[in-house]
Chain A
């Protein structure tokens, strides 16, 4: 059965200045997305907005745009201060929360409020989904390394009332560490990182010794250098039971990408968007191949 997925705007993964964040969400208010995920998911040292300000921004966007606003939580929790921030978000009482770690799942299920999970919560099969649905899960994001084949197998058996979202556009979050790789690339320890991430609003490129772009360092997170783009798979996506397509923000042109996705979903022909990405595109995971590969249309 054909189903037109809705678009969502994922949380900003990078460290942007306060002004840049507010400017971005002024634009986001106009983007053709149904849902906006807000909040810091990578590093607790990034405080362009305080937790209360994220919640204020959520209220403002919710009031002015009518879009669904979801508060996203940190992905890797190590310190009590991070748990404290997460508790405040989970107990906000107004907005749906995206759990990016099992800690948030635990808190939200204990409060018996519905929640969603982001791409760093490991859901690889239906049995896992069933457990989490009992806890209050209403929407989940397919882990980025899983293919359309796995998605179909899961969706075929999907319990009623659960929504599926996939990471359809953006540099893919690949890993998290205790170590800050951006600070390390400046010979600085994490405790004195001098907020170097501010200089790399799409992450800092890491290439092989043959100059092949490979990864982008985003503090304690590492993302793909290539941007995952499933715009070319729209026809198939409409048949795969996916409810939401996530666009992960990049520093420039996110509004153009969102427009292109919306037009593409309406069946319009769109110009090549590859020049809008920081580097080239990839789609390998979706096709069951290595994540960095780009499978051309005639080989899909």
Chain B
């Protein structure tokens, strides 16, 4: 079971490698990837340095082109695929059918992974990408229970990677446009959900308010920790109640499920967070390395150490974690 860690810059990549990642994924400094944030990501030179650093230490590097080009941006996405081939990354993670087609035809030896943003939730959908583009691996959206994940694995020829830890996307990835509904920019079109330039915090007589694109996402009482105004994690009114109508600010953490995930045949665990610091990446990689090794060496007696969960909670949204959709009652 491979540990796949995020890198938003070279120090993060090194932190991941040094702390036990088996593979690292990154994106370029533009809207071809879904963490298109200011000051983040790699140019070609930095990417080459990172790849050398990882390869020298026996690790693999994947590049993500996981947004959807519109005609006006097509050449930029195509160029990104060519860059990945030039860098000879170990795999290219893609979502768009047109881009998968281009990568497959132009660079037949470049291994392709299906991004979570492609929304492939079932084995029939994965078969489409396998038959047409020969994808080797697919990252499953965070919508399936553990038994559903197992069922996909039993019926697909492609390797399956799932999310283990990080910010929890509650919606089926690649088919959520709440962000553009409010701001005009979505992960699919722009590479960012709830982009920072639309975020606003303001002290008011009724408390601290957070807004996205002018829309009130939450109001905080004195002493309450204010979260990032991702739309799906705000407090809204439904009927007579005001509450986290979609999801609380929380992160996904599946440490406790490691033996079952391995048993199910999961080939890789993905850590979310290319937008986080090198310290975050290093710490999370270290915890997960220890946990994966422990679960593989003695799966029957595995239980997550309290110190692991403590460390992970500290860097989680709202300082709490959930098993998310893997745990049926969450749904």
Contacts and interface: CB of A to CB of B under 8 A. Distances in A.
A174 B236 contact: no
Contact of B188 (A76, A83, A124, A185): A124
Interface stretch (B8-16, B117-125, B157-165, B250-258): B117-125
Interface string A53-64: 000000000000
A177 B171 contact: yes
B242 A102 contact: no
Contacts of B330: 179
Interface stretch (A208-216, A234-242, A267-275): A208-216
Given A77-B121, A124-B68, A176 B219 contact: no
A145 B174 contact: no
Contacts of A181: 245-246
Given A153-B70, A179-B330, A184-B245, A290 B236 contact: no
Contacts of A180: 331
Given A78-B121, A131-B101, A217-B245, A179 B170 contact: yes
B217 interface: yes
A45 to B, nearest CB: 12
Interface in B186-205: 186, 188-189
A147 to B, nearest CB: 9
Contacts of A206: 236-238, 245
Contacts of B241: 185
Contacts of B71: 125-126, 150, 153-154, 157
Contact of B177 (A104, A132, A145): A145
Given A106-B125, A122-B188, A290-B180, A79 B97 contact: no
Interface stretch (B35-43, B143-151, B284-292): B143-151
B328 interface: yes
B239 to A, nearest CB: 7
Contacts of A290: 180-184, 213
A178 B325 contact: yes
Given A105-B128, A120-B175, A126 B331 contact: no
How many residues of B sit at the interface, in one of the four size bands?
35 or more
A292 B177 CA distance: 11
A46 to B, nearest CB: 16
A125 B128 contact: no
A289 interface: yes
B132 to A, nearest CB: 7
A102 B120 contact: yes
A167 B177 CA distance: 15
Determine the main DSSP class of B at the interface with A. mixed
Contacts of B216: 208-210, 212
A248 interface: no
Contacts of B172: 76, 175-178
A80 B181 CA distance: 32
A29 interface: no
Given A79-B148, A179-B170, A208 B238 contact: no
B269 to A, nearest CB: 19
Interface string A209-230: 1111011010000101000000
Contact of A77 (B69, B125, B215, B328): B125
Q: Which of B132, B148, B219, B238 has the most A CB atoms < 10 Å from its CB?
A: B238
A85 B50 CA distance: 47
A175 B213 contact: no
A107 B128 CA distance: 9
B329 interface: yes
Contacts of A157: 71
B294 interface: no
A171 to B, nearest CB: 11
Interface string A38-82: 000000000000000000000000000000000000011111101
23 contacts: A77-B124, A79-B148, A103-B124, A103-B128, A107-B124, A124-B189, A125-B70, A127-B98, A145-B180, A149-B72, A174-B177, A178-B142, A178-B143, A185-B238, A189-B329, A191-B329, A208-B215, A208-B216, A211-B237, A217-B238, A285-B180, A290-B183, A291-B181
Given A125-B69, A185-B239, 18 more contacts: A77-B124, A78-B121, A83-B122, A105-B128, A106-B124, A122-B97, A125-B68, A127-B102, A174-B177, A175-B172, A175-B178, A177-B172, A181-B246, A206-B238, A207-B237, A211-B237, A289-B184, A290-B213
Interface of A: 75-80, 82-83, 86, 101-107, 109, 120, 122-132, 143-146, 149-150, 153-154, 157, 172, 174-181, 184-185, 189-191, 204-212, 214-215, 217, 222, 224, 284-285, 288-292
